[in-house]
């Protein structure tokens, strides 16, 4: 934090979906303690899932942080859907990212061809997300996805 010019602790509201807390008892405490060590005091507010969706998805009323269940390693949408998650003004842009560099990559992804060009744009977009730390993905230890191998259209 000192490198970023922040010398005193600061408070931020954290809006957490109740289903996240139910599925991951204690995990929010671990995250809260990690952030406290660098001077970020998290004021946690648990909301029922519907209120969470309205607060974060529709009205964008969260201060700076929102937590909700996803899949084992974060969102597992197809790449062309996933890249829209950080597009300025995007319907599912929960963290309210507004970065012209990412928007440029998003626009390039729409027209990228052949597949290798599309993969390169996705690589650059993922790299930017990691460098800018728009979000922090947490592996949820108790979340499993199971399927039957004979079910058509599904794979691990």
Residue 81 pLDDT greater than 70, yes or no: yes
* pTM of the predicted structure, to 2 decimals: 0.64
Domain boundaries, the chain: 9-69, 72-137+144-151
Phi, psi of 155 (to 5 degrees): -155, 165
Closest CA to 23 of 134, 155, 137, 139: 139
Give the whole-angstrom CA distance, residue 117 versus residue 100. 20
Tell me: cis bond preceding 114? Omega within 30 of 0 counts. yes
Closest CA to 127 of 147, 102, 109, 103: 102
pLDDT in tens, 105-120: 999 999 998 999 999 9
Cβ(38)–Cβ(7) under 8 Å? no
pLDDT (0 to 100) of residue 73: 47
Which has more pLDDT, 140 or 21? 21
pLDDT (0 to 100) of residue 153: 66
Closest CA to 53 of 68, 73, 71: 68
Q: Largest Cα–Cα distance in the chain?
A: 57
pLDDT (0 to 100) of residue 30: 87
Percent of the chain clearing pLDDT 70 (strictly above): 77
CA atoms within 13 A on the CB side of 99: 19
Token pair listed for 64: 């700076």
């Amino acid at each position: 934090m000192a490198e970023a010019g922040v010398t005193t602790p600061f408070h931020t509201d954290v809006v957490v979906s109740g289903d996240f807390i139910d599925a991951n008892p204690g995990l929010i405490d671990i995250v809260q303690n990690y952030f406290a060590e660098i001077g970020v005091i998290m004021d946690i507010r648990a909301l029922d899932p519907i209120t969470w969706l309205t607060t974060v998805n529709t009205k964008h009323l969260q201060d700076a942080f929102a937590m909700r269940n996803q899949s084992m390693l974060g969102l597992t949408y197809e790449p062309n859907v996933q890249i829209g998650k950080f597009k300025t003004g995007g319907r599912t842009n929960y963290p309210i990212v507004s970065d012209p560099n990412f928007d440029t990559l998003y626009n390039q992804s729409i027209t990228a061809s052949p597949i290798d060009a599309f993969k390169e744009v996705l690589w650059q977009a993922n790299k930017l997300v990691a460098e800018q730390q728009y979000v922090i993905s947490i592996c949820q230890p108790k979340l499993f996805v199971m399927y039957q191998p004979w079910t058509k259209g599904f794979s691990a």
